[in-house]
Structure 1
Amino acid sequence: MKRVFLALTAVSLAPVAAHAQSSVTLYGVLTGNVTYLNNAQTAATTPGGRPRGGTQVAVLDGGTSGPSASRWGLKGIEDLGGGLKAIFNVEGGFSINNGAIGQGGTLFGRQAWVGLSANRYGTVTLGRQSDLAVDYVSPLLYAWYFGNMAIHPSDYDNLNFTHRINNAVKYASDSFGGFRFGALYSFGGVAGNVSQNQYWSTGVSYTGGSFALAASIINARNPNTSLYGTNANASATGNNLGSQGSATSPETSPSIAGFASARTQQTVSVASTYTLGSAIFGAVWSNTQFRNLGYTASLNPLNYSGNASFNTVGVSVRYQVTPFLRVGTSFDYTDGGNVSGKGSAKYGQLNVGAGYSLSKATELYLSAAYQHASGVDSWGRPAVADIGYLTPSATSKQVALSLGVKHLF
C-alpha cells in the first residue's frame, strides 16, 4: 500500500514538474509626459510656399516623445528538452491619455511572433517582428537611451523601430566570442509575384569588453506597403510615408513623404559605442536610398525619377552620474533627398536628456531637442524642422522640451 501511495504521489507531481519548466510573463511600460513645442505647423501651403502656423503648444502626448512608448505584452518559454525551447511574444502599444490602441489600431502592433530556440544553434521566429537593424544597431543609439525626439528625420532608417515587419521569418544566432549575426525575410503575400512586397535584412554585431559595434542592411520592395504600410490603418493605395498637408492640416514626414513611389528602399547602418568608466561614447552612420522613383505612378505627383539618398552621421555621450541619475547629449546631421535637380535638404539636431530613477521600476525623465533645417524637402518645398514624432515646424527651426515619468511592470 505504501508503494502504491508513493507511485500515485509521483504521478500527481509530474505535471507540476513539467510546468515548472515553462513560464508566461505579463509585462508592460506606462509612460506619460508633458511636451512643449514651438513653431508648430497648423496648415500647409501650396508647393513652393511656406506652411502657416507658428503657434506654441503644450500637450500631454501620452509618452510619444519619451524614452519608451506605453505598451503591454505577454511572453513565454516552454522547455522541450535537449536544449530546445518554444518561445512566443505578443505586445501591443497604447496611449496612456485615452487608452487608444497604438500602431494604427493594430491590437498586437508592436510584435506578435512564435518560434524555437536551441542552445548553440540560435533562434528562429515567425510573425510580426523587428528587423536586424533594430535588433543589433538600434540598442547602441542615443534615442533608445533618452527618447524618441532624438530619432533621425521621420525615422527614415527605422532605427527607432517605428515600423514592424509582417509575415517575417527571422534567424538570430547565439553569441560566439562576442559576435552575433542574423537574417530576416518577409514574404510579400502577392499571388503570382513573390518579390512584389518582399522585405529582407541582415545584421551583425560584436561586443567585447568596453567596445561594441553593429551593422545592418535592410531592403524593402515597394516600401510604401512592405515597410510603411504594415499597420491596420495603412492605405492600400494612398501614401503611407506621410502627407503634403492642406489648408487646414499640417504636413507629416515632409522629409521623405514625397518618395512614396519608390520601387525599393535600401538602408545601410553602422553604430558603435565605447565605455570609459561611467561614460559611453557613441557614433552612428546610416544611408538610405529610395530607388526607382515613379515606379508607382499614382504616388508620384511631382513626377520624380531616379533615386533619392539620405545620409546621417551622429555622435553622442552618455554619463551615469550616480546609480540613480544619468545624463547625455547627442548631435545628428542629415543630408539628402536630392532628385530631379530640385536640391537636397539638411537637418541638424542637438539633443540633451536626463533620467532619475526613483526605484527599479519608476523613472523621471527630461529631454530637449533643437533642430535646424535648410534646403528643399521631398515635396520640393523649403525644408522645415520636424522633431521626432511631433508636429512639424512652420519654419526652419524648432525647439521641443519633454518632462515625464516611466513605470515598468
Structure 2
Amino acid sequence: MVNNNNRACIVGIGETPYRRWGTVTEESEFSLACKAIMAAAEDAGLPLSEIDGFAAHSDDRNDPARLEVTLGIKQLRLASMVWGGGGGGACASLSNAVAAVENGSANYVVVLRALCQGQQFRYGQFHEWSAHQKFSSPYGLFSPPGQAAMTFRRYVHLYQLEEEQLARVPLACRANANRNPNAVMYNKPLDLETYLNGRMIAEPYRVYDCCLETDGACALIVTTRERAADLKGKPAHVLSVGQGGDGRWGTGNFGNYNMPDDIFSLGPQRGLANELFAKAGVNRDDVDVAQIYDAFSGSVFTTLEAFGFCGEGEAGAYIDDGNIDAGGSLPINTSGGLLSEAYVHGLNLLVEGVKQVRGISTSQVKDAKVCLVTAAPVTPSSATILGSEPN
C-alpha cells in the first residue's frame, strides 16, 4: 500500500508553440524537447538539475543521455520508454513515471513527447520500412486514415450512424481550438456545411475527421505529494493510471480484423476503464471533463462506450444530445484535441487535463475536479484519471 505522501502528482507542464509539419524552422526536434522540459520545470519551480528521470512513448528520439548533458542534470536514475508506436502509450509514459516516483526509483520524472515531422518523416505517409505497412499495402491500405476507417465503417454499419452525428466531434473540437491561442486551428472556425463539403479521405472519414500533422513538444514533471509541497506548481493528482488492453486484440494495422464480433468495433479498453475507475474511487458521473484520443473522429465514439459513459452503439445519440460540447455533461478535448490543437501523439491531451484540474484552460469547465485522459484505442492502450484533490 503506497503511503499517501508518496502518491504521485503532476507539478509542472510545458509546451512549445505548435505548427503544421514541414514549417521552415531552424529549430531541431531536440531543441523543441528541451524547451518544453525547461518550461515544465519553470512552471513547477524546480531547478533543471533536480530532474532525475525521463519517460517517453512512441519511439521518441530525444534520448535521456543527451538530455542529461544538455540540461545539466546531476544524476540520471530513470530512462523509460513505452514499447510500440503511435498514441497508445500517451498515458503509459505517465504510468511509468508514477511507478518510479512512488517506489523511490526517481524523485522528479519528466514525461516527454517531441515531434518534428518537418525534419524527420510524416506519420501519415507510407513507409516501406514499416512491417505493419508492408503487410497492409497489398490491400491498398497505404496510410493510417484508410486503415482506421475500415474498423469504424463497421461501426457505422452496425449502428446506422449519420454523417451529421460524426461531424459533432470535429465541430466540438474546433470550437474549443478557436478559444486556444496555441492551437493550430485557433483562428479557423468550422461549421457543418464546410465539414460536409470536405473531401472524403477514406469513408466515412472526411478531411476534418483526421488529426493534424504538426511539429511541437510538450512535457510534464511528476513527483510525490510530499515533494510537491515545496514547489510552486499547483499539483494535479494522479488518482489512477494504467496501461494494457483486453485479450483477443492484436496491434498494428490489422490488430482487430480477426477479432470476435463482440469487440470488433468497440476496441480493447473496457477492462482498463473498469480498473481505472475502481482504483481512483470515482464513478463515471464524477468525471467533469475528458480528453479523448481523437486521431480520427470515430475513436471518440468507441471510447465513450468502452469507458461506460453510454451503452454500446449509443454514442451517436449521446453526442447528438450535446454532452461533449462546452456546457454539456462531459465536455471533451477542451484545447482542440488532436483534430484541432496539435498532434503530439496524445501527450498534449494530458497537458490539457492538468490545465482543467488546475482551472486554467482556455475552455475551462466550471469547478472541474476530475478529468479523464485516454490514449489511442489500440493494444497496448493507456489512460489516467486526474483530480484537483487527492483521493
**TM-score, length basis structure 1:** 0.25
More helix by share: 2
Whichever of the two has the greater Rg, that structure is 1
More strand by share: 1
Answer 1 or 2: higher relative contact order, Cα 8 Å, separation at least 6.
Answer: 2
**TM-score, length basis structure 2:** 0.26
